[in-house]
Structure 1
Amino acid sequence: MTEPKITELRPMPADWQRALAVVAHPDDLEYGCSAAIATWTDEGREVGYLLASRGEAGIDTLEPAKCGPLREREQRASAAVVGVTQVEFLDHEDGVIEYGTALRRDIAAAIRRQRPELVITLNHRDTWGGIAWNTPDHVAVGRATLDAAGDAGNRWIFPELIEQGLEPWNGVRWVAIAGSASPTHAADASAGLERAVRSLLEHRTYIEALTDEDPETYARGFLTAHAERTAERFGGRPAVAFEVFSR
């Protein structure tokens, strides 16, 4: 029996200047995507973050009123490590974010404000590769982001945004899904991997509640393992994988 052929991943599109990364919670981008973002900001590209919630329901031992502000601070510090200064929160309720027109409108508004060519989000499917069940928040935000990329360019969808001074933006050329079980592209993580580790470590309160393992050992092991697995399909180079939808 012959071994199945490994499908090589294509390099991420390079002819863009501005990206917007849209996720549900603080730390979502740091679990694997920030190495690519660090490389892109080094190249002079602009990347903004949009978070649907402040992750206030994410730590069992910390009540939401205290947890939300703490995780927001950790997220802003984490973003700064990889060269991102624009971090916006939408204040949807952590754990019960609902897919629907309200979420689509909020994301479309952010796309119109920031005018990205590339939009990034997280796995929007029911499972992580058929192995683990995904959270409703990830599914809702990922799916709404895919839809909002089109909503942002249609003046007849959410016309109230025009009244707020947000003209349609039909310049989104790609939506890239991190954490997909069906990746099509990858971004070289060699230059950004060390900063990705430091970026994830800024979520120290969350990590310490999640595992008894030393935080740096945990962060480095998790991110390195993912980058090395992707390397098998990307010429041996540590990389971040994405499923890319063109528009």
Structure 2
Amino acid sequence: MTRLRGKASRRRWPLALLALAVLGSACTAVFSSRLTVPPAAALAAGQELLGKTTVLAIVAHPDDLEWYIGGTLRRLADNGADVQVIVSSDGEKGPNRTASPDLAATRRAEQAAAGKINGYTRIHSLALPDRGVAADPRFLPEVERIYREVRPEAVFVFDPTYPSLPYLHVDHQGSAREFLKFWRTLGAGKPPVYLFQTRRPDVAVDISGVIGTKARALAQHVSQNGGNGGGMTGFFAGSGKAVGVAYAELFRVLRE
């Protein structure tokens, strides 16, 4: 009887392993990043984006812009676009690699320096509490006010539904959710929203020609990365490979 039970147990192992393999494949399909359109279509959509003349980017912290979409914003500025950005907090709870006695002031200065390199027309600093942006009652009214003042042809926010993993932050996805609540109340003719840090991109902007500028702008955030902006561009080489260029930034667009 013991030998029979042992044989039955061994027969169950392959079934268990098969179930784990199926589960692993399903998780990979759901949580991995993949382009949802052909590369040529994604690049064509990126060229359309680069034709916008006024854009508004909404982020949570200093360095979010330069890390995720700095190349795209630089290309827009090079095309003569009015590039306005909202930085919701000063990131005072982030790393402090320079041991600054006033990290919020340091990060504001770093953002200003990066913005000059990247050609932003204006930086709107809300100075809301780090890790409390989305929950702050002042956030959405300020964003709505600036939005109506700027009247952008395109808006950039984090992807709150399909964020690329593993890095998640309550301010990143939370601020995007709050903005999208407002955006969905707008009528016909509202601008498209380009969602970044997404694992379901359908838009690609070739940033190969401005990758050096992106790295210099990112390197201004010394308190966060020790000035090693150039060492952080490998991720965008991978995004570029997905669409057949050297470096790219990827987005998921919402139009209605």
Please, what TM-score do these two structures have when normalized by structure 1? 0.78
| Change in CA separation of 1:172 and 1:202 when aligned onto 2, cut-off 3 Å | farther
Aligned-CA RMSD value = 2.6
Kept in 2: contact 1:76–1:85 (CA 8 A): no
**1:197 pairs with 2:197:** no
The residue number in structure 1 matching 2:71 is 35
The residue number in structure 2 matching 1:188 is 206
The residue number in structure 2 matching 1:243 is 252
Deviation for aligned residue 1:59: 2.9
Match among 31, 45, 67 for residue 103 of structure 2: 67
Q: Which one has the largest radius of gyration?
A: 2
Structure 1 residues 1-247: aligned runs within 5 Å? 7-9=37-39, 10-11=42-43, 12=46, 13-14=48-49, 15-59=51-95, 66-99=102-135, 102-125=138-161, 128-129=164-165, 132-151=166-185, 153=186, 172-208=190-226, 215-216=227-228, 219-223=229-233, 225-247=234-256
In structure 2, the gaps of 5 or more residues are 1-28
Secondary structure of the corresponding residue to residue 243 of structure 1:
strand
Secondary structure of the corresponding residue to residue 171 of structure 2:
helix
Kept in 2: contact 1:25–1:55 (CA 8 A): yes
| Change in CA separation of 1:64 and 1:115 when aligned onto 2, cut-off 3 Å | farther
Higher helix share: 2
Q: Distance in 2 between matches of 1:237 and 1:177?
A: 21
Q: Could you tell me the percent identity over the aligned residues?
A: 22
Q: Distance in 1 between matches of 2:252 and 2:84?
A: 20
CA deviations over 1:58-94 (Å, ceiling 9, x no partner):
1357899711111111101101101113001112101
Q: Distance in 2 between matches of 1:16 and 1:126?
A: 25
Kept in 1: contact 2:60–2:88 (CA 8 A): yes
| Change in CA separation of 1:96 and 1:106 when aligned onto 2, cut-off 3 Å | same
| Change in CA separation of 1:70 and 1:127 when aligned onto 2, cut-off 3 Å | same
Deviation for aligned residue 1:99: 4.0
Deviation for aligned residue 1:139: 1.5
Deviation for aligned residue 1:126: 7.8
Kept in 2: contact 1:126–1:134 (CA 8 A): no
In structure 1, the gaps of 5 or more residues are 155-169, 209-214
Q: Distance in 1 between matches of 2:143 and 2:71?
A: 24
